[in-house]
Structure 1
Amino acid sequence: MNSTGPAVKGLHLIPFRGLRYVPERVGSLAAVTSPPYDVVVRPDGLHHLESADPHNIVRLILPQADTPAARREQASDTLHRWLSDGILAPDDEPALYVYEQRKGDLLQRGIIGALELSDATEGVVLPHEGVMPHIIEDRADLMRATATNLEPLLLSYRGNGNAMGAAAVVERTVLRTPLLSTTTEDGHSHRLWAVTDPAELAEVRADLAQQQALIADGHHRWATYLRLRAEHTPPTPWDFGLVLLVDTARYPLQVRGIHRLLHRLPVAEALSAVSDTFRVRRVDGPLPQALDTLAEAAAESNALLLAGDGAFHLIDRPSPELLARTVPDDRPEAWRTLDATVLHAALLNHLWKIPDAPEHIGYIHDAAATVAKAERDGGTAVLMHPVREEVVRDLARQGVTMPRKSTSFGPKPASGLVLRSLAH
């Protein structure tokens, strides 16, 4: 997305001294990485990562202790111990980092840097989802305790599609020897390069100064950055936040749904409550086939897939009268017809009467994991079909936020490849 005139300030990305694992001090770089904190499926995924390597980054991004204060202290103590033991060390000079992810036909490249969080970013960095205050508080507490940006959020922007400016720097850089190269257990290969040449840094800076960005992943981290910036009198390192910027004109992101796990609602009760206002059908599995059926239904009306009782149930074609009573009419049509809007307004709030609180609703990125947990716990998995990227961008440009956890853009950057200390 390009800015439309000189009055709109663009993106200001600066180099920083990346804090990185010292390869000789860990078992493998792959074993110390993690998905972003909100993608880790707890407790199974958390325990798996903790056991992969004693220095896995999950011990910093999701510290485990009995109280919030103890978790913060544990993360801070762990980070300081790893620094003093030489497990983590800062790079010698500030850099922007070119980051590449590859798996089969999927290829994504972008630039990691410290993005200015000035007041001028309003209208330049565009959120598209609402956030949950308790998560912002938790992330803010963790960042205060560690004085570190532990993982980048993902921003997308639309370049002109040509290998010029930042894109040219990226394509030249990947021809060089990387700082690190590793393949994680999900099959993604990861490579990282440092860009320190003043001319190339200036090339990136001039190009990004003309751009706007959409928050693809990391709304809570973005809100946390802004909160912490407001707590400090500038200029300080808190005026910047760690981001990965991807030019989606060259490297389109994938968009997936984020699924809901209703901890205390059995599938039978969920279906009974919607039988008068939705069409309800049992559909064939296995899961990939059921998701294909969901995609077909979602092309014609609001549609959701419920699971957790050993079967798959498609609910679609909600009653217009129900939607008229429950969906707010003060938003654009594109917002009112989102599956997530209908789910939260008509189902969670009205028919199921479930509060949007962690003890009632879990948000899980992986469909199979959502179904498995619902079957194990006796709850209901609500599987979502993804929203098209152009709908997200259009709403973001209008300043309209989607219901929280409406989309999952990816591939997401692996956590643990490069951190940013705010203490130096």
Structure 2
Amino acid sequence: MAIPELPSPDGLVLRPFRGVRFAVDDLAAVTSPPYDLISREDVQTLLDAHPNNVVRLILPGSDQHRYAEARETMLSWLASGVLATDDLPALYVYEQSGPGVLLRGLIGDLGLSDPGKRIVLPHENVMPGTVADRLALMRTTESNLEPIFLLYDGDGGFTSRLIADVTTTRRPAVDVLTDDGIAHRLWALTDQEELDGVAAELYGRQALIADGHHRYATYLALQREYHAEGRGPGPWDFGLALLVDSTAYPPDLKAIHRVIPGLPLQEAAARAKGAWQVHDFAHVEEALEALASATGPAFVLAGNGPSHLLTDPDPVQVEHAMPAARSARWKSLVTSVLSEFLLPKVWGIQDDERSVLIVHHDPAIAVRMARRESGTAVIVRPLNVEDVLAIAAEGERVPRKSTSFGPKPRTGLILRTFATG
């Protein structure tokens, strides 16, 4: 049986949709960080914060019935009025502000495009297990529970001017302060002339996926699945997305660290000495200071005992480990050296979800986890934004979990269901 051709726009499409929003008194208490930033300890804290916290939908548990439970929870909240659907389709202006933080963009239905058209540009590889998990949740709930985060070059055009006007002159539909001190506001754009202006400007643009590669891969997988079943065009041809003009609101790119359970720190350092310069430090803080000023590929190894700074890897060994087809820029990335050389060649470890744990942003959390797991924390410097953009523009993808663009949208402010999309 031939697979039907999928609907695919020839330009960037962000269409209005009827948002689903919490109708509770304490809106902050039902929101959460994105699912992949929530630790096991955080889950319980969020559950305790409010009986209707969105974590019950995005991370519904660990047993075989968890996806069905998420669906039943969502249907119950819709029936009881905990969740309510907006009357009119809208694009939603989203603002996130706080000390050192200002992000503004549009949340809407992103038209899913053929990757070959290079309208939506991924820059990072994904792991099949995570996609399978998100696909099962999305298929069962028939909803997009949190937006992916896209960047585009708006160059101060109509959309950017409209967002600036809306956020400074109009009353928001949502105005909430979360416990991290960040204010989140939403405005619904329903004026047809404004919507048409946005649509016309965006159609000729490209967008880079800053955050949400696994969710975007899930959007595409579900679209293919539903069309193979003969469902035809529908809400599965779109996915919830936040689109931000990177010229007006430059992103913050942070590091993602690794923890290798069961690899003792001193063994990790000893095995690295055949390929790296290994510098010893009594305190991890000293090693991190040295990492900040190091040139070329460098990592801090930390856990139980003295810390170590790895610098100046053997260039012959590194080059031999790198895939021949990759560009010189890709080979120079610290995460490429980590995933292609340090992990598999030096330590004999496969870079997968079971062998390598992920910690976003905070080295201290990675060190604590390494000590708890009797393993090694690998502290990584953030990549350069220009390198990521250039690699994506050439059609390459950086290794998995190489980038953490921010500030990330808060989960639970607005949802999208297929029934209303």
Place the TM-score, normalised by the shorter chain, in its bin: over 0.9
Superposition map of 1:260-299 within 5 A:
260-283=258-281, 285=283, 287=285, 290-297=287-294
2:326 to 328, 331, 339: 331
1:35-50 mapped onto 2 (5 Å cutoff) = 35-41=33-39, 43-50=40-47
1:3 alignment partner in structure 2:
none
Preserved contact between residue 146 and residue 414 of structure 2 (Cα < 8 Å): yes
Q: Percent identity?
A: 46
Gapped regions of structure 1 (runs ≥ 5): 1-7
1:11 — aligned with what?
Answer: 12
Question: Deviation at 1:66?
Answer: 2.2
Query: Which of 42, 56, 60 is residue 59 of structure 1 equivalent to?
Result: 56
Show the counterpart of 1:353. 348
Secondary structure of the 1:206 match is helix
**Equivalent-residue separation in structure 1 for 2:345 and 2:206 (angstroms):** 37
Q: TM-score, normalised by structure 1?
A: 0.92
1:178 aligns with 2:172: yes
Letter in 1 for 2:198: V
1:113-145 CA-partner distances (Å, limit 9, x unpaired)? 001113377301101111111111110000011
Q: Which sits farther off after the overlay, 224-233 or 211-220?
A: 224-233
2:301 counterpart of 1:306:
yes
Tell me the equivalent position of 1:116: 111
| CA apart distance, 1:188 | 1.3
- Residues 329, 336 of structure 1: 8 Å contact kept: no
CA shift digits 1:277-324 (9 cap, x unpaired): 11111246564x643421211xx2100111111543211110112112
Distance in 2 of aligned mates of 1:63 and 1:329 = 42
Residue deviations 1:22-47, cap 9 Å, x none?
Answer: 033xxx21111111111112x11122
Alignment of 1:195-274 (within 5 A): 195-233=189-227, 234-274=232-272
Out of 400-409 and 120-129, give the one that drifted further: 120-129
Which runs of 5 or more structure 2 residues have no equivalent in the other structure? 1-8
RMSD of Structure 2 on Structure 1 (CA):
1.5
Query: What do the CA deviations read for 1:249-278 (whole angstroms, capped 9, x no partner)?
Result: 000000011111111211111111101211
Secondary structure of the corresponding residue to residue 323 of structure 2: coil
Cα distance change, pair 230–344 in 1 and its aligned pair in 2 (3 A): same
**Corresponding residue to 2:159 among 166, 174, 196:** 166
Aligned pairs for 1:118-197 within 5 A:
118-119=113-114, 122-160=117-155, 162=156, 164-174=157-167, 175-197=169-191
For the residue of structure 2 that corresponds to 1:232, the secondary structure is helix
Q: Deviations over 1:208-245 (max 9, x none)?
A: 11210100000000100001111223310000000000
User: C-alpha displacement at 1:364, in angstroms?
Assistant: 1.5
CA distance in 2, matches of 1:124, 1:362: 32
Residue range with higher mean Cα deviation, 392-401 or 320-329: 320-329
Q: Report the Cα distance in structure 2 between the residues aligned to 1:367 and 1:30, rounded to whole angstroms.
A: 27
Q: TM-score scaled by structure 2?
A: 0.93
Q: Is 2:421 aligned against 1:411?
A: no
The 3-state SS of whatever aligns with 2:36 is coil
Amino acid at match of 1:372: R
Runs of 4+ in 1 over 3 A off after TM superposition: 283-287, 289-292
1:47-85 per-residue CA deviation (whole Å, 9 max, x = no partner) reads 211211111111111111323xx1111111111111111
State the alpha-carbon separation in 2 of the partners of residues 331 and 154 from structure 1. 26
Q: Which residue of 2 aligns with 1:90?
A: 85
Query: 2:369 matched to 1:373?
Result: yes
Could you tell me how far apart the structure 2 residues matched to 1:379 and 1:201 are? 52
Pick closer, same or farther for the CA change 1:204–1:121 going to 2, 3 Å.
Answer: farther
| 2-structure distance, mates of 1:120, 1:327 | 25
Task: Specify whether residues 226 and 374 from structure 1 end up closer, same or farther in structure 2 by C-alpha distance, changes over 3 A only.
Answer: same
> Partners of 2:407 and 2:116 in 1: how far apart?
25
Alignment partner of 1:421 is 2:417: yes
Look up the equivalent residue of 1:52 and give its one-letter code. Answer: A
Cα contact 1:18–1:91 (8 A) shared by 2: yes
Kept in 2, the 8 Å contact 1:263–1:359? The answer is: no
Question: 2:4 is matched with which residue?
Answer: none
Q: What is the DSSP-based 3-state SS (H/G/I as helix, E as strand, rest coil) of the residue aligned with 1:291? A: helix
- Contact (CA 8 Å) 1:9, 1:121: kept in 2 or not? no
Distance 1:398 1:121 in 2: 12
Encode CA deviations 1:87-133: one digit per residue, 9 max, x unaligned: 11101111000001112132110000001113377301101111111
Count matched residues. Answer: 406
Query: Is contact 1:10-1:121 (8 Å) kept?
Result: no
